[in-house]
Structure 1
Amino acid sequence: MTAAADLVLTNGEVHTLTDPDETYEAVAVRDGRIVRVDSDYEIDFLNGVETREIDLDGRVLLPGFVDAHVHMETVGRHRLRADLRDATSPEDAVDILRDSDTGDDWILGFGFDESTWEASRYLTRDDLDRVSTEKPVVAFREDLHTAALNGVALDRLRDPLPDGDVQTEGGDPTGVVVEDAAEAVREAVEPGPAETADLLLAAQRDAHETGVTSVHDMVRRSHAPRVYRDLEAAGDLRLRVRLNYWSDHLDAARELGLRTNHGSEFVQTGAIKTFTDGSLGGRTAKLSAEYADGDGSGQWVVPPAELREVVRLADDAGFQLAVHAIGDEAIEETIDALADTDDPAGARHRIEHLELATDDHIERMADLGLVASMQPNFLKWSREGGLYDSRLGPERRSENNRFPAYLAAGVPLAFSSDSMPIDPLFGVHQTVNPPEDTQELSVTEALRAYTSGAAYAGFDEHRLGTVEAGKEADFVVLEASPWEHPDSIADIDVAYTIVDGEVVYEAGA
């Protein structure tokens, strides 16, 4: 006699997101795994005395979203610190920061995006001195490659800030710092273990509210790896986490014997993450031609020779690589470096962002079996008059984030948020309704990139990414169908998020 299910979800529109995408009415779960996907009639045979049944009432059930590139501490900070994402001007950002002062030593804000402001300029020392002249104040741009500091913060951090990344005017610091200097600021305000736990639990709530059931967290000089394991041991981690360690952790990871895919069901070692260039917002992405609105063509954060050494050491030690490359020149150097590894396809080496890849780059990636880890959210900057119009000019703006070209070439495509924001439906909406035809995906293609595509990037396609018997019971239930409402996908609400067969989020509960 077949054992009863622990959980059944009935009367729904269940999309397996397999190829082809099959739809059913119901799904049954036992011991955290899917045991059957079928009609209501067939699933009813698995109903037992202790089975929990959820009537989906026609809602859409999908595999849980996998965010393949996110900074979970930053997500938590948006919830627990000054959230500058909705600031409409420098003055508004100053008011938000001033109102956020709770008596802590530092006043911190995260997520401002000056490209949406009429002034279209970074926050400066003068702005933040209006928040406080007694406490250090720091505001991080949304991409984390740029930060603004008040006078107190500049004085306190004078020694660790490399001069080349501290912007000046008339010889005096403006308060704007980029790349290595911004990283030094992040290190200075790094939270301790207890605060890290608060941030990660807050981020977990945000993930669940947006249907995310698994994340690839980019961690650097953080207590997060320890905290995740403590949370798992305590039964408080309800999110599958893949830890992608920054390259400055490589020696320690090798000494400890870590390898890609080592770990538990909920916390695994992922890739070694490294940079090549910076960001388009900070004019530090490395381009082959100059920026349209400023001098220079960007900068190397990790020079090519150093990148090759990091790639060699990480690959030899059995690690997947995840290499940040945005500008076309950076992408070229990254592909060259990864091409020299023993088995790029078997290692599933990844390139993160890939915003300005050429046709030749995409063809080479397909030949090498490299994974394209990309962020559809970034299309919010690609519209006419937006940030990319300013940085690149209209012609080059139309060449960014050409997602269909990757699929057509056979390059594995994994979607993620980079925390801008952590909301898969926002990203799916952007590429289903893009500024350019060359960026447009179908609803199914976009959802697969955020489920099975992202699972593949983390060696998890055998257990995540589709709704099939034998896989982990990780689901998101939507209030409406993105196929029936393609023009308003970003407005669709999440009704339930389920991880390991347990309801971790229920709207209104």
Structure 2
Amino acid sequence: MTEAADLLLTNAAVHTLARPDETHEAVAVRDGRIVRVGDTYELGFLAGVDTRTVDLEGRVLLPGFVDAHTHLDVVGRKRVHADLSTAESRAEALDALRAQADAVSDGDPVLGFGYDESAWGEGDYLTREDLDAVGAVGPVVAVREDLHVVSLSSTALDRFGDDLPEAGVRREGGEPTGVVVEAGAEAVRDAFAPDAAATERHLRAAQADANERGITGVHDMIRRSHAPQVYRDLAAAGDLTLRVRLNYWADHLDALVETGLRTNHGDGLVRVGAIKTFTDGSLGGRTAKLSTPYADAPEERGEWTVSPEAFRELLEGAEAAGFQVAAHAIGDAAVDAVLDAYADVADDPAESRHRIEHAELASDAAVERLADLGVVASVQPNFHRWAGASGLYADRLGERRTETNRLSRLAEAGVPLAFGSDCMPLDPLVGVAHAVDAPTEAQQLGVTEALRAYTAGGAYAGFDEDRLGTVEPGKCADLVVLDDSPWTADEVAAIDVALTVVDGRIVHEAL
């Protein structure tokens, strides 16, 4: 006799994403795994006394979204501190910081996360004069959306200025503007790093946010954080509602080796992922390493945050210890340097699933090398928000803006694509919409290809293609149900998530 299912999802438009245009009506789940996919009548025979049956009334069912590049602690901090990501002007950002200042005790830091000055059309980064106008007693700190730029009030500069690397402090007339970049930004973020209890609050808030958006798995970028402990504690308590791959920063490598860990260690919902490192900065901060000057700063070509020589040394150590490597590289010079290292140092980049995070300005030659080496391009389609004719990238790059994030070019070359959000924002359907509606044909992907990059692509980047990424018998029951079809909806980004299932467990329900 066939065992009854734990969960039956019926009367749906099930898109398996395993084969082109393959659809079904129902999915049966038992013990956290998909056991049958077929029509509603047929699967109805798997209903037992304890089976929960959910009639999806024609909604679209897909594999759960895997966000291949996230910073969930930052998402949680936006919920706890001032969320500047929704500010549509400098004044709105400062109002949000004033509200936060009113909510904290006098003298405590006032923290805000996620501002994007390029959306305001009124000048550059927040400065110390802007933040002084908040009127807080304690230091005011505003972190730009890309995490590569941080703005400080005069009080914050007085408190931290002597400890900041000189190269990271922007100045005018010899005086600090309040803007710090790269190593300076990192030092400030470290100074305000949350303790374990605060990290738990942040991650609980962030995972709820993720589940509401249909995210069932994340590749989280971890640096000097309590997050690994918190994730494992949440999993042990049965409170973790995401699959998590911990992509540890390079300065964790020695400790990971000493404890005998390597990529793919772990079981259940938490596993060890890649070793993550920077090579360059960001286009927003004019620190991405370019081969030619910035359009709006002809004397600048960006900077190395980790030199090519240092990256090669790291890669050698990580390879020897059995680790996948995920290298942040945005500018074309940085992408080329990483590919040179993978070609020269790695035994088999494809087998190791080595990755380039962002790869925004990959040249035609670099795209072909990505494909030939089998290196994963872990990209963020939502970055197309800056690629329009009047966007940030037009300011920074001029006509080269059309060469950023050429998703179709990457896919046609056969480069393994994994989509992530970088939490800008944490919303796969926003990413899919940006991929479909990108400014140029070379930057666009079709709906199916974009969805696969956010499901099967993320699974592949995490060595999980045998467990995740498609709706098939034997796969983990990580599923998302949408209120409308991304193939026919007028606004893909506006589609609501009706149901999210992780490991057979409903973790979000809005039916």
Give yes or no for the alignment of 1:232 onto 2:238.
no
For residue 247 of structure 1, report the CA deviation from its aligned partner: 0.4
Q: Which residue is equivalent to 2:320?
A: 316
For residue 359 of structure 1, report the CA deviation from its aligned partner: 1.2
State the SS of the aligned residue for 2:366: helix
Percent identity (aligned):
63
CA distance in 1, matches of 2:93, 2:482: 33
RMSD across aligned C-alpha pairs, in angstroms? 0.9
For residue 131 of structure 1, report the CA deviation from its aligned partner: 1.5
Q: Which residue is equivalent to 1:417?
A: 421
CA distance in 2, matches of 1:447, 1:78: 27
State the SS of the aligned residue for 2:277: strand
Which residue among 131, 152, 155 is the counterpart of 1:152? 155
Which residue among 328, 351, 354 is the counterpart of 1:349? 354
Which residue among 500, 505, 508 is the counterpart of 2:508? 505
Q: Which residue is equivalent to 1:103?
A: 104
Q: Which residue is equivalent to 2:90?
A: 90
Q: Which residue is equivalent to 1:368?
A: 373
Which residue among 162, 167, 176 is the counterpart of 2:165? 162
Which residue among 491, 494, 501 is the counterpart of 1:491? 494
Q: Which residue is equivalent to 1:125?
A: 128
Which residue among 377, 385, 389 is the counterpart of 1:384? 389
Asked if the contact 2:408/2:441 (under 8 Å) is kept, the reply is: no
Give yes or no for the alignment of 1:255 onto 2:254.
no
State the SS of the aligned residue for 2:202: helix
CA offset digits 1:176-224 (Å, max 9, x no partner): 0000000000000000000000000000011001000000000101000
Asked if the contact 1:69/1:373 (under 8 Å) is kept, the reply is: yes
State the SS of the aligned residue for 1:422: coil
- Structure 1 runs, 4 residues or longer, greater than 4 Å off: none
In structure 1, list runs of 5 or more residues that go unmatched.
Answer: none
Asked if the contact 2:98/2:136 (under 8 Å) is kept, the reply is: no
For residue 159 of structure 1, report the CA deviation from its aligned partner: 2.8
AA aligned to 2:417 is: L
Asked if the contact 1:15/1:467 (under 8 Å) is kept, the reply is: yes
CA distance in 2, matches of 1:456, 1:27: 23
Matches within 5 A, 1:23-422: 23-101=23-101, 102-104=103-105, 105-294=108-297, 295-339=299-343, 340-393=345-398, 395-422=399-426
State the SS of the aligned residue for 1:263: coil
For residue 133 of structure 1, report the CA deviation from its aligned partner: 5.0
State the SS of the aligned residue for 2:57: coil
Q: Which residue is equivalent to 1:476?
A: 480
CA distance in 1, matches of 2:15, 2:304: 43
AA aligned to 1:192 is: D
CA distance in 2, matches of 1:37, 1:56: 15
CA distance in 2, matches of 1:164, 1:112: 23
AA aligned to 1:85 is: S
AA aligned to 1:281 is: G
Q: Which residue is equivalent to 2:4?
A: 4
State the SS of the aligned residue for 2:104: coil
For residue 61 of structure 1, report the CA deviation from its aligned partner: 0.2
CA distance in 2, matches of 1:465, 1:341: 27
State the SS of the aligned residue for 2:162: coil
Matches within 5 A, 1:441-480: 441-480=445-484
State the SS of the aligned residue for 1:158: helix
CA distance in 2, matches of 1:233, 1:431: 37
Asked if the contact 2:228/2:246 (under 8 Å) is kept, the reply is: yes
For residue 434 of structure 1, report the CA deviation from its aligned partner: 1.0
CA offset digits 1:210-245 (Å, max 9, x no partner): 000000000101000011111111111011000000
CA offset digits 1:55-96 (Å, max 9, x no partner): 000000000000000000011112121000111222221111
CA distance in 2, matches of 1:285, 1:494: 35
Asked if the contact 1:133/1:151 (under 8 Å) is kept, the reply is: no
TM-score by length of 2: 0.98
State the SS of the aligned residue for 1:421: coil
Query: Greater CA deviation, 47-56 or 132-141?
Result: 132-141
CA distance in 1, matches of 2:366, 2:121: 36
CA distance in 1, matches of 2:418, 2:136: 44
Query: Greater CA deviation, 97-106 or 345-354?
Result: 97-106
Paired positions, count: 506
TM-score by length of 1: 0.98
Asked if the contact 2:486/2:492 (under 8 Å) is kept, the reply is: yes
CA offset digits 1:4-33 (Å, max 9, x no partner): 000000001000001224100000000010
AA aligned to 2:500 is: T
State the SS of the aligned residue for 1:398: helix
Asked if the contact 1:133/1:152 (under 8 Å) is kept, the reply is: no
Query: Greater CA deviation, 472-481 or 18-27?
Result: 18-27
CA distance in 2, matches of 1:255, 1:89: 48
CA distance in 2, matches of 1:447, 1:420: 18
